[in-house]
Amino acid sequence: MTAKVYQIGETDVTWLASGGDELLTLTSLGAGAGRQGALHDFGAMTTARAQDFLWRFFMQFATAPVVAEVIEIYWKSSDGTHPDNDDGTGDIAVSAIDKLKNLTFLGTLVVDEASATPEFATGNGNGVVQLPHRHGSPVIWNASADAFSSTAAEHGFTLTPVPLQAQAT
């Protein structure tokens, strides 16, 4: 008989301005600017944990954006000593667009409505990413011409672990 592999749900890891697992303060993020969240420690590499994750980013603008503008979403990893860039390990502004060059590009949020009212969200289709490193954080780059809203609850990033488990049939 063949074994079946099941997807087992686990607890989300969230990056929010407050109330999340890690900090990511995107309030009033200006056009042509970026911010990284605090590095999350996924645990020692000697313990079993998911390596695949579903990701989701959500945000709102302060003013009406232009359709087809984009927000770029990256992942910064680290072994705990050597992060992918030298902007630090906390919730901090990206110091220059060049700091994105060694990060993992996850995808883009494409503006699909010229209004500041809706929440824009993306997981870029299936939103699956493999994260084998112990530490990591999302990095958001505002490539639009509009600032993010000033309300903290209107922005965030979520990772959902997707561990696989083999079952005998």
Q: Can you give the CATH number for the domain in which 20 is found?
A: 2.60.120
- Coil, strand or helix at 67: coil
- Let me know: does 100 contact 111? Beta carbons within 8 Å: no
Question: Does the structure show a pLDDT above 90 at 10?
Answer: no
Number of domains in the chain: 1
Range of the domain at 19: 4-167
Q: What pLDDT is attached to residue 117?
A: 93
Between 124 and 42, residue with greater pLDDT: 42
Paired strand residues for 26: none
- Give the mean pLDDT of 55-67: 97
Residue 142 has pLDDT above 70, yes or no: yes
Radius of gyration from C-alpha coordinates of the chain: 17
pLDDT band of 50, cuts 50, 70, 90 = confident
**Residue keyed to tokens 């699909």:** 112
Burial class (CB in 10 A: 0-12, 13-18, 19+), 158: buried
Q: What is the mean pLDDT of the segment spanning 152-163?
A: 94
3-state secondary structure at position 115: coil
Instruction: Please tell me what DSSP assigns to residue 61.
Output: B
Instruction: List CB contacts of 72: < 8 A, sequence separation 6 or more.
Output: 100, 105, 108, 140, 141, 143
Q: How far is CA 13 from CA 21, 85, 127, 153, 159, in A?
A: 6, 22, 15, 16, 5
| Residue 168: predicted pLDDT | 64
Q: Is the pLDDT of residue 158 over 80?
A: yes
Report how far residue 78's alpha carbon sits from residue 135's, in angstroms, rounded to the nearest whole number: 5
Is 60:151 a contact under the CB 8 Å cutoff? Answer: yes
Strands (E), the chain: 4-7, 13-16, 22-23, 33-36, 40-41, 52-59, 70-78, 92-93, 104-110, 120-122, 128-130, 135-142, 156-161, 164-167
